[in-house]
Amino acid sequence: MATPVKVHGPPLSTAVSRVLACLIEKDVQFQLIPVNMSKGEHKSPDFLKIQSRAICRYVCEKYAEKGNKGLYGSNPLAKASIDQWLEAEGQSFNPPSSVLVFQLAFAPRMKIKQDQSLINQNHDKLAKVLEVYEKRLGESRFLAGDEFSLADLSHLPNTHYLVNATDRGELFTSKKNVGRWWAEISSRDSWKKVVDMQKHSS
């Protein structure tokens, strides 16, 4: 019997929720180990926190035969397309959306002053990226092709916050294809479970 995978960190963290969604898709048992953010446990001296995308890739390779088998592509070409959109997520989508999530959803709660010009700048950046996504999602059902993949999954954490905890959800919902895609990926069982875990952890 395999020992469950241990996941360290709060489900509210976008990186952690990305990994959780992946594990649930792959039907891999895990154990969530809480990290006390207020005690600063999460700031390990080693800045090399293993990146959540690397972890997801590893989980998909290691448990290739479990759960959603196509999550990271069932052949090299499919995988390359997924990698491509994972890079787009990491490099283009993540930076502006993370800033917006922090500024609009977390800063107020943490009583940190919001930076309006930063918000505006990143809103515009994200809007431009989503224009490319709108076109892409008019050509295929999901980002990398016709099946839900790690590339779509990787977008779940930040988009969830933007749509549900800020007033910028219309960046997504006002676009026909992006809106359709968001509705579909956010209603997956795996993501619903993660959202549930987030609700019960705070």
Partner 1 sequence: MVVKVYGPIKAACPQRVLACLLEKEVEFQIVDVDLEAGDHKKPDFLLRQPFGQVPAIEDGDFKLFGKVLGMCSLTLGVIYLFIFIFKCVNILLLAESRAIIRYYAAKYEKQGTNLLGNSLEERAMVDQWLEVEAHNFNDLVYTLVFQLLILPRMGKQGDTALVLSCQQKLEKVLDIYEQRLSTTAYLAGDSFTLADLSHLPALRYLVDDVGMWHMVSQRKHVNAWWETISNRAAWKKLMKLANY
d(CA 148, CA 128): 23
Q: Which is nearer to partner 1, 52 or 198 (CB)?
A: 52
The answer to whether 10 and 37 have CB atoms below 8 angstroms apart is yes
Q: Determine the Cα–Cα distance for residues 19 and 84; give it in Å rounded to an integer.
A: 19
**Under rule CB under 8 A, residue 88 binds partner 1:** yes
C-alpha to C-alpha distance for 86 and 188, rounded to whole angstroms: 19
User: Binding residue for partner 1 (CB under 8 A) from 37, 77, 112, 183?
Assistant: 77
Q: According to the binding rule CB under 8 A, does residue 199 interact with partner 1?
A: no
- Residues 170 and 91: their CA atoms lie apart, in Å, by 22
Within 10 angstroms of residue 98's Cβ, the number of other Cβ atoms is 16
Binding residue (CB under 8 A) for partner 1 from 20, 129, 153, 171: 129
136 touching partner 1, by CB under 8 A: yes
Residue from 168, 11, 14 nearest 89 by CA? 14
Between 176 and 199, whose beta carbon lies closer to partner 1? 176
* Burial classification of residue 197, based on how many CB atoms lie within 10 Å of its CB (0-12 exposed, 13-18 middle, 19 or more buried): middle
- Single out the residue of 13, 92, 173, 177 in contact with partner 1 (rule: CB under 8 A): 92
Given a contact cutoff of 8 angstroms between Cβ atoms, the answer to whether 66 and 28 are in contact is yes
Main-chain phi, psi angles of 188, to 5 degrees: -70, 145
DSSP string, 114-133: P-HHHHHHHHHHHHHHHHHH
Q: Quick one: which segment of 9-17, 84-92, 153-161, 191-199 binds partner 1 (CB under 8 A)? A: 84-92
95 part of the interface to partner 1, by CB under 8 A: yes
User: For the window 37-66, what string marks contact with partner 1 as x by the rule CB under 8 A?
Assistant: ----------xx-xx-xxx-xx--xx----
C-beta closer to partner 1: residue 139 or 189: 139
CB of 95 vs partner 1, minimal distance in Å: 8
Q: How far is the CB of 13 from partner 1 (least distance, A)?
A: 16
Q: Which residues bind partner 1 (CB under 8 A)?
A: 47-48, 50-51, 53-55, 57-58, 61-62, 76-77, 79-81, 83-84, 86-88, 90-92, 95-96, 124-125, 128-129, 132, 135-136
